[in-house]
Structure formats: C-alpha cells, structure tokens
Structure 1
Amino acid sequence: MQFNEFNLHDDVLSGIDAMSYLQATPIQEQAIPIILSGKDLIASAQTGTGKTAAYLIPILDFIARNPSDYTTALILVPTRELAKQIDEQIEGFSYFVSATSIAIYGGGKGEDWNQQRKALVNGADIIIATPGRLMAQIKTGEINFENLKCLVLDEADKMLDMGFAEDILFVIKHLPIQRQNLMFSATMPKKIRDFANKILKTPEEIRLSVSKPAVGIDQQFYLASDEQKLPLLLHLMKNTEAESVIIFSSQKSMIDKVVRSLNRNNIESKGISSDISQEEREESLRGFKNKQFKVLVATDVLSRGIDINNLNLVINIDVPRDAEDYIHRIGRTARAETTGTAITFINEKDQYRVANIEKLLEREVEKLNITESLGFGKAPEYNPSLGRKKNRNSKPNKKGSFNKKRFDKPKKIQTTT
C-alpha cells in the first residue's frame, strides 16, 4: 500500500517522500487508518517492522491539520537511546510540517534539565520521554499537559520489565482524560494486557507475529557453566575474524567483568548499561559505530531501538529471559541481506529458556560441547526440563540425562559481510 492512499496531509507526504519511504509495512498499513480515526490501539509488533513511523505519521498529520501552541503528543519509551532515535525520525518526517519535538531523558539536574523544562512548559508539539525523567519534571509543578491529544507507550513490555509501571501511571494522572491512547509492544503477555486495560478505552488490536531471525544468521549454542563462560568467550574471540561484536548480558554486574577480561587479553572493548552516564553511553556507542574499538558489551538496553550497520557477531553471555528478547538481540546482525553469527552460552539453570527459543524458531539448534576439549572442564549436561525444575526450586538437582555428543574441535565462526 502506498502512503498517498492514506489521505494524508500534503506536507506529511512530502516528509515521507524525503525520508525515501515508498511503501507501507504491514504494521503501518494496519495502524495508520486506526490512528487517523482517533481510536485507541494496542499493537504487538517487534523492532524493525516500522512501528515508529506507524504512529508518527498520523500524529504529524493531526499536527499539520491542527496547528497548536501546546503539546499534542507524548511518547513514553524505556531508554534514552530510543527517545533520541524517535526524535531524529520526527525531525525527518516533520521537515515540511515544521513540528517541534524534544527528547526528555537523563539523570541529575543541569543544563539539560533546564532546557527540557523550558520545552515542557512552552509546549513542543511532540514530547518523547523516559517515564522516570518526565515524572521528575512533572513534580516541579510547572508542567501542564491539559491540551494533550495523544499518548503513546512504545515498547511497553520493556518499560514494565524495567519497573516503570508506577512512573507511567503517575504521568497518566497528569494527562487529560479525553485523549487517544496508543500502546506498542514487542510481546503481548498477560501483564501487558492487564496494564492496557488500565489505560486504553475499547482499543482496536493489531497482532503481528514475531519475525524469525534473518536467514543469514548462523546461530550457535554452546554449553558452559558460569565459571567456563569467560574462558570460552576469550577462546572464541581470539579465533574470530569478526570486526564488530556486541556481547549481551542480562546482568549489569557482568558488563565490567567481561570488559576487563577482554581488555586484559588485548581485545579492546567498552561497556554500556543503565548505570553509566548519558555522555559515556553516547561516546561508547559512537566509538563502536566508528570502528574505534572492536567489542561493545551491553545489557538489553541495546537490544532494541539501536541501528548498527555491518555487525558481524552477537554473543549472548547468558540466555535472554524471554524468547522474543533473543530474537531482538541476534537481530542486531545480518541486516540488509548480509550474514552474521549469533552465539549463546547455556548454563545449567537457563536451559528451559532454550526450549522456549527453539519453539519460537520452530526448530532445534545444535548444542555444542567443547569446554572439555579446550581444557576448561566438563560442560553442563543438557536437559531443559531439568533446568526448569532447578530454576523453580532454586536448589541443585544432580539427576538427569545429558547430550553425549562431543566435539573434538570448536566450530569455526564464519562471519562475512
């Protein structure tokens, strides 16, 4: 479907054309008419499907037809990286509409705080904000959203996972009751539906199935205990030709450990997590994109909303908690019809999560067992049902079968762009 079939304002169509958008994606084709009609919407669509444009385009259409001195739309997002990315997209799409926007994020009070407060008080057309930072600004008593027309919750599942539910509800209490509500989430578990029921009013629903990983991704699973992970990681890194690597960990405490270990072995790396300052995160991400160093170690803060080209290798130092998060992580590589490799380490207690991933993939992935041949000791036995039982009981269970297949030599990591 072409964008000119949506009956959009000419200035919005000019911006779409300037951004070189030719044809609507499935989420855009389904969401844009609903949003233009003014109805509430809950949509399940993963990163990379074009969901940001799916709500920005109709919002900009409303602004083009209804110019105002007040804030029209508020977009809540889980991370500053996503806030900045959306702000940049607005700048492109709204060039001919002349809509204003600002991203609200950050830590302490300073120059950024004052600039953000000024924009909130004066009323930029579109505000993109992380919930905690916006809540802090609202508490100053100077912020007024009484003319707001639209609230967007982007990556709602990630915001709830990060503990922003109460912050979001605090913000919503300061919004007008009569408004349009749009919720986008990569996954649609019960907690998201329950949360949506608190906010949305008789919403329309769109559910797009989670896409399978790109065919160009070579997925490899390695069995390794927690003590074996760093030695195995160093072995693989020393034997890869990959020029750009992202290593993901679900635990912030692991980031520094991995970075220190890599740097001690002359593999230049830097880490990104929610614990470091905005300036440090931006500097590290910029340096990585510019090939100033080879390896970026990060939490899931980088698994969504970040566009990195020519990434050869993704390594999961642990199994993501949700199968959909696995898709997001490994989706950082093999973009634009290139190829790449995704490696995941599997310890004893996380094995049941592998079964969930394989269910989503609709196939099994070979479990590689090489630690013993490398002199790192015997790898954990593979028994996903046992892993689930251990996780629930929080007690070790020595019983169970294991995958007896052995590999005398480690599988070669092939990475080509």
Structure 2
Amino acid sequence: WERTSVNHTIGQRRAITGNEAWRGRTMQEIVAWQYGSEAPIPNIHLLAGTGYNEPGTDDTVPSWARAQIVANPGAWPLSLDGSKGTRYPMSPELLAAVRRHRNEVFDPSTRFDQVFGHADRIARWKELRGTPQERIEGLDLIQKLMVYPNSAAVPLEQYGLASSPLGEAVRAVFPDYATDPLHANAALAFLLIKYGVSVSVTLGPSFDFVLGAGEGDGGSTLPINSVRNPPLAFDISHQGHRAGQSVVWDRLYKVVDGLSALLSSEDFGDGTSLWDRTMIYLASDFGREKRRPENAPEWGTGHHVNNGIMVCSPLVAGNTVRGGVDPDTGLTYGFDPATGAPEPGRTMEEGEIFSGLLGALGVDTSGSGLPDVPCMKA
C-alpha cells in the first residue's frame, strides 16, 4: 500500500485509522465497540507514547471502548484490587464502608468536587469506581494476570497472592518476561485474551535498547545474539538496514509464533480455539528506501511511503500475498479488491487496507463509506 506520511507518529496513527477513514475511529476502538461490550477492559495498550496509542476523534465511540494504557505489564495486575496484595488487607465489608464514606461524605464536601464534580470526565471517573471496579476485583485479575512466579524478588505469597494459573505455561513461551518488555507485553496479552478481559490488545517493540539478561562483560563488544532490541527498533535501519531488519523481524516472528501456540491451546467453548478467532496485524509506520549500494554487506535506508503489511490469522487467506513487488524497483504494488489478483502499477490506499482488515474481523461497516475489500477475508 502507499502511505501518506513518513513521520513516525503520523504514520502510526494512520496505520490504525486508515488515515481517518471512518470518522477518525481507531481499529482498536472499532473492535472493542463491536465485540467488547461484556469485557471488563476491552481495549488495552501495552505500550505508550506512540501514534498507535492515540485516541480516535469520533465522539460517538463509547468511553469504555477507548484505550486503557498499561505502562508496566508486570506490575499492572497489582493495581486491579483495592485491598488484596497488601500486608494487612481490609475485609470486603470494611473496604465497602470506606468507599461508601468517600463517595457520600468526603468527596461531596471537598471544594474540588463542588466545582468540578459534575464535569463529564469526573462523572466517568466516579462511575468507574463503582460497578466496573467491583467487577474487576470480583474476577480476581490481580492473580489471574500475574505473570511472575513467587520468588524472593517478587514475594507474592508474603502478600497473600499467587502467580496466574497459566503463569508457568506463559513463562515457558516468553522466558524473558522480566527483562524484555516485548516478552512481558506478549505474556500479558495472552492472559488478557484468555480470561476475557480484552478483545483488542496493542503491543510491540519500543525504541529502547534491550540487552539480554546477564549479557555483556563490560568489554568493548557485545556477545553474539545478546541484543534483544536494537535502539529505535526498526528505525535502526538508518544505520544498518540488513542487521536491524533481521533482528526485529526475528523478534516479532517469535512473539507471533508464541501467541499463536498459546491461543491455539485454549478452547473458545464451541470446539474452536481462541486462535481461530484472533488476528495479529503487524502494523508499521511506513516503508524503507529500496536501494542498496552495489555489493554493500550493510547499508542504511531512509523512510519511504511505499509499504506493505503482514497479517497472521486464520481469519485471512493463509500463505497468500495480495499484490506483489516490482523486481526492477523493489516497490510494492496493489491488487484487485474483489478478487485479490495482483495489479502491477496499482497502489492501495490506507483506507482500503483498513477496510479489508475490518472486513476480515467481521466488523459491521455499514454506513461507514469504506470501500469493500472482500479478498482480504479467509
């Protein structure tokens, strides 16, 4: 497809809105709205500070379908209960009495509440502290989502807690959960889907440099394969395209494979697995320049509007390429939206790919004005 910006934040946002194709709604909001009305926190983002996290601009999207950003997936479950996980937890009856006093006596008496108490955002905040909070606490997510095992460093049992029932299985697939943010994100992403907490989870590599635990001895060089995430992730391609792309793609493939394996092992309840109902969309900001100095073993590349996407899912046609690559230029070209037949010279717009992905997810797009791209469905 052909992108419309080579700015990181703008490109990221347009990858999830199709360049504001449907009233500025994000793909995550749309999926949460359609499928997540019964989920406690339907739209969770496990990374922050990117265009992928930006909210949509359609005010009709319900607040419960908007993103909940989680900055630290390892510690976040501890925030999901108001009493558990403390050395001297309150009884449910005492906690309820304290909250009732806060809501009925303390808050109304403050100057802040008297001035701002009827503002929409404060009203929403008060609502969240009621039934939604009680529901989350009742689901015991503080333990179900806890990836860490009990240990001297994380003494869960000392505070009356335990690791998730699926913690051992998740740690086996994503063993670097304690040192690699992407492994931590992927581990929590699976648990969020498994326990029905969310229907849309956003995760990905950060721009931060990540070195494997215990790697490096203080010398002038790093051991082979010790770098888990290069600085700037894919954008390290400015300095070293081949090595940077290889490291980050290998990283993403392993995470996708791990999530697929875990989700495939979980029954949805009707004979199908969670994986049968999952789509992993590997969104990107934009493409890279398609040039390599003659015989150069390594080189740098700049940003380019020509791009492609990868989708891993039983909901799309497997082992299939839509469009193609011009062997003379290295640039991608598009396809017929109805049949998927490659069409050299055609460029796909951001809104077309956005619509095709939503169609594969079974989202009702009636009245959206989006183009129909049926060939992207399985």
Q: TM-score range by the shorter chain?
A: under 0.3
What TM-score, normalized by structure 2, do the two folds share?
0.27
Instruction: Between the two structures, name the one with larger relative contact order (CA 8 Å, sep ≥ 6).
Output: 2
More strand by share: 1
